[in-house]
């Protein structure tokens, strides 16, 4: 821990370093339970990306009930510094939520990838 506290290349906040170590342990536990962390995360969107079909950037929220549920579940599993806003940003970054506006070129690309995935596991067409 002391070596990390002296490392100028990282944030040197003891609580955040301790949380990172604890989160790594919790991550491994989730992987043991679900097989992959991705399988755990996909449950929050029903197994396939959600397309929010936003028209304006101003309509993109900072959190949703789903990101709140993810945050609560992660904290229950021992994760720290995982609030609903961080969880929503994570879902956007990993592609489980397509929040690109309809006029953004990435929206079309991500939507095409979603269609190529086919139905969510356990669902028909």
Give the domain extent around 101.
Answer: 2-117
Shortest CA distance to 44 belongs to which of 101, 84, 80, 102? 84
Question: Can you give the CATH number for the domain in which 30 is found?
Answer: 1.10.340.30
Inside any domain, residue 9: yes
For residue 125, is it within any domain? Answer: no
Q: Give yes or no for a contact between 38 and 96, defined as CB atoms under 8 angstroms apart.
A: no
Percentage of the chain modeled with pLDDT above 70: 94
Q: For residue 58, count other CB atoms closer than 10 A to its CB.
A: 7
Question: pTM for this one?
Answer: 0.84
Question: Is residue 51 within 8 Å of 101, Cβ to Cβ?
Answer: no
Query: Has residue 124 been placed in a domain?
Result: no
Question: How confident is the model at residue 82, as a pLDDT?
Answer: 97
Q: Is residue 123 situated within a structural domain?
A: no
pLDDT of residue 120: 65
Q: Which range (18-22, 43-47, 95-99, 117-121) has the least confidence?
A: 117-121
d(CA 91, CA 94): 5
- If one counts the domains in the chain, the total is 1
**Residue 122 is assigned to a structural domain of this protein:** no
Q: Read off φ and ψ for residue 9, nearest 5 degrees.
A: -85, -5
């Amino acid at each position: 821990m002391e070596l990390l506290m002296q490392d100028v290349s990282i944030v040197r906040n003891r609580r955040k370093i301790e949380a990172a170590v604890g989160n790594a342990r919790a991550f491994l536990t989730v992987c043991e339970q679900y097989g992959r962390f991705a399988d755990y995360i996909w449950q929050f969107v029903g197994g396939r990306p959600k397309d929010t079909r936003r028209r304006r950037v101003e309509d993109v929220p900072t959190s949703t009930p789903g990101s709140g549920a993810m945050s609560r579940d992660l904290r229950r599993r021992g994760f720290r510094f995982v609030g609903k806003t961080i969880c929503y940003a994570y879902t956007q970054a990993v592609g489980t939520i397509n929040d690109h506006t309809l006029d953004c070129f990435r929206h079309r690309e991500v939507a095409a990838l979603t269609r190529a995935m086919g139905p969510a596991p356990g669902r028909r067409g």
